[in-house]
Chain A
Amino acid sequence: ETGVTQSPTHLIKTRGQQVTLRCSSQSGHNTVSWYQQALGQGPQFIFQYYREEENGRGNFPPRFSGLQFPNYSSELNVNALELDDSALYLCASSLGTSRSPLHFGNGTRLTVT
């Protein structure tokens, strides 16, 4: 069984730039959720994709967008980066939308300077 993998592990960007983070789901999982975790806080829900459609979104502005591909892998795109976007971005996969456990990757550490 292949777990959730995220790339890259670390990234440094400049304010105003755009970034794309990638996530490969655990095998057999059709749902991907993205979270932002600031230092010392719990993860904040960004959005979820189920069978390539967005299935729920948290309180994040439209410059946070995503995609899910037919193989259930996913991308998180952030435009016009701000300093406050510096955080650990976590991807979680699951089977179905709400009743099965979330399985997380190790995250991408984004630093915006």
Chain B
Amino acid sequence: KQEVTQIPAALSVPEGENLVLNCSFTDSAIYNLQWFRQDPGKGLTSLLLIQSSQREQTSGRLNASLDKSSGRSTLYIAASQPGDSATYLCAIHTNAGKSTFGDGTTLTVKP
């Protein structure tokens, strides 16, 4: 059974700081890994998708890495801004259409 853990559960940083969010998973037999952002009471917005054969993906100030052998992914956010404040979730996609999510890291960026 796939288990996904995100640590820390909450993180508070001053504006402008670079930060790393962590995601670990127990079963390396994955199709891909997807990072999402969720604002309070809203749906999930896709940030980055990394296929199982890839090591990293970049979009603007975001960079996500994947190390299947160690069961880890990181989301790096450069030059954080107050608008980055949200909950960040990682999801592991496997066959049979099943996706397993972590409980998220709630990020607060203080002006």
Residues of A whose CB lies within 8 Å of any CB of B are: 4, 6, 31, 33, 35, 40-45, 48, 50, 55-56, 58, 88, 90, 92, 97-99, 101-107, 109
A-B interface pairs (CB < 8 A), number = 72
Q: How many residues of B contact A (CB 8 A)?
A: 27
- A33 pairs with B31, CB closer than 8 A: no
Q: Within the complex, which residue of A6, A33, A97, A109 is in contact with B41, where a contact is CB–CB below 8 Å?
A: A109
Report how far A2 CA is from B91 CA in the complex, Å. 23
Residues of B whose CB lies within 8 Å of any CB of A are: 4, 31-32, 34, 36, 41-46, 49, 51, 89, 91, 93-104
- A107 pairs with B43, CB closer than 8 A: yes
Report how far A94 CA is from B43 CA in the complex, Å. 15
- B34 pairs with A101, CB closer than 8 A: yes
Closest to B102 in A: A42
18 A-B interface contacts by CB (under 8 A): A41-B103, A42-B89, A42-B91, A43-B44, A44-B101, A55-B96, A56-B98, A90-B44, A92-B44, A97-B97, A98-B95, A99-B93, A101-B34, A101-B49, A102-B34, A102-B91, A102-B93, A104-B43
Contact residues in B for A35 (Cβ distance below 8 Å): 101
